[in-house]
Structure 1
Amino acid sequence: MADNGPFAGLVRRFYLEHRTGPRPQIASYLSEVEPAQRDELLKLLLAVDIECRQQRGELVCASDYQELGPDVPSLVSRILSDAERAGTPVPSTLIAPQADHLVATVIRSSDPSEPEKASSTREQHVGPYRLIKSIGEGGMGAVYLAEQTAPVRRQVALKLIKTGMAGQEVLRRFQAERQTLAVMDHENIAKVLDAGSTDDGRLYFVMEYVPGIPMTRYADEHRLTLNERLELFVQLCRALQHAHQKAVLHPDI
């Protein structure tokens, strides 16, 4: 990994900027190295950018990277398609074979919460649920793909309140969120299956795991007509209407 050494500082700074502020501009980082080095650095920064955005639950599209050159959107499109077929988030190795080790090392050394996250998914159980991998993160909690081991075996999505989030207001909001989701009864809203707390008092709730891809990507890849896209949009609106009828408004919509 010695030949990746010159990029470690840039990748670390890019990651920290991503986690603590607005999304950083890849192009500005590329301008800091010699032209001959930019292709290699670009792949490393793409690995970090896509991973950070997926962890926040953002929609990642190939068109987001048009300003980086004519070949970059097609590269990202292939990466997203490969990950979709595998049914997993985008791994760093799909972007650059050497990225996995460097990116993982940079993230662990840059973020004190990462060792906890890495160890927490390594054969950790929350009640009858075995955590498999992190699939999202919000202000109060982290969401994991998990496997229920008893009384039935199935994959679920488990939201676990973050370590240290023990304030009464945070606990009240987390409990309110899981209660709100529990009263939803619509085919396009994932159902709450279970709830509880860990041995150390961290609250969690469990929902249906619904694998899939963003609706816009589905529409593009299946070449849907305008009317077909509107039919999908209407389905989404009906789910939102159901939530609104339960007096629930999503702050991100």
Structure 2
Amino acid sequence: MATLLTATDIAALSRLIDELLALPAADRADWLAALAPTDQHLALALQSMLAEHEGSRAPALGTELPALGDILDASTPKPGDRVGPYRLLRQIGQGGMGSVWLAERADGALTREVALKLPRLAWDAGLAARMARERDIGALLEHPNITRLYDAGVDAQGRPFLALEYIAGQPIDAWCAAQSLDVPARLRLFMQVVHGIAYAHGRLVIHRDLKPANVLVSADGQAHVLDFGIARRLHDSEPAGPAQTLQGQHTQTHEQHRALTPRYASPEQISGETLTVQSDVYSLGVLLYELLTGTSPITAKRASPGALEDAILRGQAPLASSRAPVRATARALRGDLDAILAQAMQREPARRYPTADALAQDIERHLQGLPVQARPDSWRYRLGKLLRRHWLGFGMVALGLTSVLALAG
């Protein structure tokens, strides 16, 4: 008999499929074979989801997959379908846990197009209340670097949906590569992201899933942070399982707390500890590290579930300058940017920048040639900064003194 997956299983699937899809294709079979005993019952579901993502046949013909029952909507969306008040136009994205469609209002209320996110999994009986909370969070966030959440709900068939501002753009890492941006240009683009996150923090909202795929850059070079779908308000106080707290208050559920992308998650997210704005600061550090070096700061020693999480909890990221692809980039990263990234990605939240604004200010100081807070203060460091900022003036003075001394001699 098929086994019904619980809400906790669904949360585990969300986390595991993200880990699986982040691996090179050649490593995925070994990863699945090394599933922890507590996750073995999810192996076939993961294989099925992977097969769908890759557009191939599901494994083991005739094998009975776990029944998702009411939790998994077996219907596949197609153009022309109605989801709530929206009509699907074309699919614009797909992942292991859902799809994103360009859609329009079908009831004539508005004419704008939206990006309609359709999670594959209906989480639990409290889904309608959760979607109402998503609308509440979306109403708080009106910023040029944050994608607007217009609507969230559950349609007549029980399918959840999120209606987002449609941005025609590229993920920030792809944009940087396509534009061949140098280090200062990447920093200025990244600053847009930090300003958007700092704005959200000022309204007591943390994102919790910052990664390149959740930052789109439009053709005019504007960065847009999207997918606040697992965001949480800092003063939420709903009952939850043990260790699921946020600023000393309980988050909604264990399942939503674990809805994260491990590669970009902070150590406290991985271990289920208290989350503050400094969790997003850590993820911003990981994102910037990748934008500047093209590599992830923390890598697992083996391709298995939990290996990356262990590395995040115990590992130490090498200096970004040591991972730079070319010497010119390494020179640009050495010193200030190495220090800024190291402080943003400290394992202990108290040792990171206290806010996203503080991170932005240090990056701005670096761009202006001023001393940064992440580096130890000394007269030599400050003098070096002063000389680099005013090298022309100091050069003219030195040339004048040399001329005077030559004439005097």
Give the TM-score, by structure 2 length.
0.34
| Counterpart among 246, 250, 253 of residue 203 in structure 2 | 246
Question: Do the aligned residues in 2 keep the contact of 1:135 with 1:145 (CA within 8 Å)?
Answer: no
**What is the percentage of aligned positions where both structures have the same residue?**
28
SS of equivalent to 1:135 = strand
SS of equivalent to 2:169 = coil
> Matches of 2:202 and 2:147 in 1, distance apart?
17
Question: Do the aligned residues in 2 keep the contact of 1:121 with 1:134 (CA within 8 Å)?
Answer: no
Distance 1:122 1:179, change over 3 A: same
> Matches of 2:181 and 2:124 in 1, distance apart?
46
Distance 1:21 1:206, change over 3 A: closer
Deviation at 1:51, TM superposition (A): 8.0
CA distances 1:180-234 after superposition (whole Å, capped 9, x unpaired): 1221010111112234442234443422111211111111111112111111010
Question: Do the aligned residues in 1 keep the contact of 2:154 with 2:160 (CA within 8 Å)?
Answer: yes
SS of equivalent to 1:187 = coil
Aligned Cα RMSD in Å? 4.0
- Aligned equivalent of 2:58: 106
1:14-93 maps to which residues of 2 (within 5 A)?
19=17, 22-23=20-21, 25-27=24-26, 52=53
> Matches of 1:28 and 1:162 in 2, distance apart?
25
1:123-202 maps to which residues of 2 (within 5 A)?
123-131=80-88, 132-133=90-91, 135-136=93-94, 143-149=100-106, 150-160=108-118, 162=120, 164-168=122-126, 170-202=127-159
> Matches of 2:91 and 2:116 in 1, distance apart?
10
Question: Do the aligned residues in 2 keep the contact of 1:145 with 1:155 (CA within 8 Å)?
Answer: yes
- Aligned equivalent of 1:209: 166
Matched, 1:116 2:74: yes
SS of equivalent to 2:170 = coil
Distance 1:193 1:138, change over 3 A: farther
SS of equivalent to 2:20 = coil
Distance 1:159 1:179, change over 3 A: farther
- Aligned equivalent of 1:232: 189
Question: Do the aligned residues in 2 keep the contact of 1:129 with 1:146 (CA within 8 Å)?
Answer: yes
Question: Do the aligned residues in 2 keep the contact of 1:165 with 1:171 (CA within 8 Å)?
Answer: no
Distance 1:176 1:136, change over 3 A: farther
> Matches of 2:183 and 2:125 in 1, distance apart?
47
- Aligned equivalent of 1:59: none
- Aligned equivalent of 1:65: none
- Aligned equivalent of 1:223: 180
* 2:172 partner amino acid: M
Question: Do the aligned residues in 1 keep the contact of 2:152 with 2:163 (CA within 8 Å)?
Answer: yes
CA distances 1:93-129 after superposition (whole Å, capped 9, x unpaired): xxxxxxx6xx2x438x7877898342x2253102331
SS of equivalent to 1:106 = coil
SS of equivalent to 1:204 = strand
> Matches of 2:173 and 2:18 in 1, distance apart?
28
* 2:166 partner amino acid: Y
* 2:180 partner amino acid: R
CA distances 1:20-54 after superposition (whole Å, capped 9, x unpaired): 963455335899xxxxxxxxxxxxxxxx97984xx
Deviation at 1:146, TM superposition (A): 1.7
* Larger helix proportion of the pair: 1
Distance 1:231 1:223, change over 3 A: same
* 2:20 partner amino acid: P
CA distances 1:143-170 after superposition (whole Å, capped 9, x unpaired): 43323342444421123465543322x4
* 1:22 partner amino acid: L
SS of equivalent to 1:213 = strand
SS of equivalent to 2:176 = helix
* 1:159 partner amino acid: K
Task: Count residues with an aligned counterpart.
Answer: 168
